Amino acid sequence: METAAPRDTAAARGTAATADTADATAADRAADAKAADQAADAATLQAAFNAAVAADERIEPRDWMPDAYRSTLVRQIAQHAHSEIIGMQPEANWITRAPSLRRKAILMAKVQDEAGHGLYLYSAAETLGASRDDLLDKLHSGRQKYSSIFNYPTLTWADVGAIGWLVDGAAITNQVPLCRCSYGPYARAMVRVCKEESFHQRQGYELLLALSRGTEAQHAMAQDAVDRWWWPSLMMFGPPDAESSHSEQSMTWKIKRHSNDELRQRFVDICVPQAESLGLTLPDPDLKWNEERGQHDFGAIDWSEFWSVLKGNGPCNEQRMTQRRRAHEEGAWVREAAAAHAARHSERERATGDSERAIENSERAAEDSEREEATA
Amino acid sequence: MTTHSASTSPSAATSAPASSTAAALPLGDDALVLSHRLGEWAGHAPVLEEEVALANIALDLLGQARVLLSLVGDEDELAYLREERAFRNVQLVEQPNGDFAHTIARQLYFSTYQHLMYGQLAASDSPLAPLAAKAVKEVAYHQDHAEQWTLRLGDGTAESHERMQRGLDALWRFTGELFEPVAGLDLDREALRERWTAMVTAVIGKATLTVPEGPQSGAWTAGAGREGLHTEPFGRMLAEMQHLHRSHPGASW
Burial class (CB in 10 A: 0-12, 13-18, 19+), B8: exposed
What span, in angstroms and rounded, lies between the C-alpha atoms of B15 and B2?
22
How confident is the model at residue A34, as a pLDDT? 78
Question: Is any Cβ of chain B less than 8 angstroms from the Cβ of A353?
Answer: no
- Contact call for A337 and B156, based on CB within 8 A: yes
Exposure class string for A133-164: b at 16+ Cβ within 10 A, else e: eebbebbeeeebbbbbbbbbbbebbbbbbbbb
CB count in 10 Å sphere of residue A18: 7
User: What is the percentage of chain B residues whose pLDDT exceeds 70?
Assistant: 90
CA distances from A174 to A5, A80, A100, A271, A296 (A): 50, 11, 31, 14, 18
What span, in angstroms and rounded, lies between the C-alpha atoms of B137 and B114?
11
Q: Sign of the CA dihedral B110, B243, A203, A171?
A: negative
Beta partners for B229? none
CB count in 10 Å sphere of residue A285: 8
So where are chain B's domains?
16-246
Q: Which of A86, A228, A89, A226 has its CA nearest to residue A162?
A: A226
Given a contact cutoff of 8 angstroms between Cβ atoms, the answer to whether A78 and A125 are in contact is yes
What span, in angstroms and rounded, lies between the C-alpha atoms of A180 and A254?
8
Residues from chain A contacting residue B50 (CB–CB below 8 Å): 331, 334
What span, in angstroms and rounded, lies between the C-alpha atoms of A192 and B220?
51
CA A218 to chain CA centroid, nearest Å: 34
What span, in angstroms and rounded, lies between the C-alpha atoms of A17 and A15?
6
How confident is the model at residue A349, as a pLDDT? 53
Arithmetic mean of pLDDT, B7-24? 57
Residues from chain A contacting residue B81 (CB–CB below 8 Å): none
How confident is the model at residue A248, as a pLDDT? 84
Q: Which amino acid is at B231?
A: T
Report the residue from A111, A218, A333 with minimal CB separation from B55.
A111
Spatial neighbors of A321 by CB under 8 A, at least 6 apart, are A140, A142
pLDDT tens readout for residues B217-238: 876 665 689 999 999 999 999 9
Report the residue from B1, B159, B252 with minimal CB separation from A333.
B159
User: What is the percentage of chain A residues whose pLDDT exceeds 90?
Assistant: 77
How confident is the model at residue B135, as a pLDDT? 97
What span, in angstroms and rounded, lies between the C-alpha atoms of A351 and A30?
53
Q: Sign of the CA dihedral A341, A345, A350, A355?
A: negative
Q: How many helices (H) and strands (E) does chain B have?
A: 9, 0
Question: Is any Cβ of chain B less than 8 angstroms from the Cβ of A332?
Answer: yes
Question: Is any Cβ of chain B less than 8 angstroms from the Cβ of A340?
Answer: yes
Q: Which of B46, B48, B40, B75 has its CA nearest to residue B29?
A: B75
Q: What is the ipTM score, two decimals? A: 0.92
Question: Is any Cβ of chain B less than 8 angstroms from the Cβ of A335?
Answer: yes
What span, in angstroms and rounded, lies between the C-alpha atoms of A58 and A36?
29
pLDDT tens readout for residues B114-167: 999 999 999 999 999 999 999 999 999 999 999 999 999 999 999 999 999 999
CB count in 10 Å sphere of residue B245: 22
Report the residue from B3, B39, B47 with minimal CB separation from A335.
B47
- Contact call for A323 and B2, based on CB within 8 A: no
- Contact call for A337 and B75, based on CB within 8 A: no
Beta partners for B185? B182
3-state class (DSSP) for residue A230: helix
E strand intervals along chain A: 288-290, 295-297
Residues from chain B contacting residue A106 (CB–CB below 8 Å): none
pTM: 0.87
For residue B188, the distance in angstroms to the closest alpha carbon of chain A comes to 32
CA A260-A266-A270 angle, 5° bins: 145
Report the residue from B3, B99, B163 with minimal CB separation from A100.
B3
Nearest-10 crossing angle of helices A168-175, A184-212:
150
How many residues are present in chain A?
Answer: 376
pLDDT tens readout for residues B163-220: 999 999 999 999 999 999 998 898 999 999 999 999 999 999 999 999 999 999 876 6
Burial class (CB in 10 A: 0-12, 13-18, 19+), B81: middle
Query: How does pLDDT run along chain A (376 residues), one tens digit per residue?
Result: 333 444 344 444 444 444 555 666 777 777 777 777 778 888 999 999 999 999 999 999 999 999 999 999 999 999 999 999 999 999 999 999 999 999 999 999 999 999 999 999 999 999 999 999 999 999 999 999 999 999 999 999 999 999 999 999 999 999 999 999 999 999 999 999 999 999 999 999 999 999 999 999 999 999 999 999 999 999 999 999 988 877 888 999 999 999 999 999 999 999 999 999 999 999 999 999 999 999 999 999 999 999 999 999 999 999 999 999 999 999 999 999 999 999 998 865 556 555 555 556 555 555 555 555 454 4
Residues from chain B contacting residue A331 (CB–CB below 8 Å): 45-47, 50, 100
Whole-angstrom distance between the N-terminal and C-terminal Cα of chain B?
Answer: 14
Spatial neighbors of A366 by CB under 8 A, at least 6 apart, are none
CB count in 10 Å sphere of residue A350: 12
Q: Which region holds residue B4: left if phi is over 0, alpha if psi is between -120 and 50, else beta?
A: beta
Q: Which of A22, A207, A182, A239 has its CA nearest to residue A110?
A: A207
Element (H, E) at A342: helix A332-344
Element (H, E) at B41: none
- Contact call for B59 and A112, based on CB within 8 A: yes
What span, in angstroms and rounded, lies between the C-alpha atoms of B1 and A359?
32
What does the radius of gyration of chain B's CA atoms come to, in whole angstroms?
18
How confident is the model at residue A35, as a pLDDT? 78
Q: Per mean pLDDT, which range of B18-32, B40-54, B131-145 is the poorest?
A: B18-32
Burial class (CB in 10 A: 0-12, 13-18, 19+), B159: middle
CA B102 to chain CA centroid, nearest Å: 14
Residue B5 has pLDDT above 80, yes or no: no
What span, in angstroms and rounded, lies between the C-alpha atoms of B36 and B32?
6
Nearest-10 crossing angle of helices A216-235, A184-212:
150
Arithmetic mean of pLDDT, B33-50? 97
What span, in angstroms and rounded, lies between the C-alpha atoms of B171 and B92?
7
CA nearest to A158 within chain B: B253
- Between chain A and chain B, the number of residue pairs with CB atoms below 8 A apart is 151
Architecture category of domain B16-246 in CATH:
Up-down Bundle (1.20)
Q: Which of A361-369's residues contact partners 24+ apart within 8 Å by CB, and which partners?
A: none
Residues from chain B contacting residue A342 (CB–CB below 8 Å): 152
For residue A370, the distance in angstroms to the closest alpha carbon of chain B comes to 23
3-state class (DSSP) for residue A331: coil
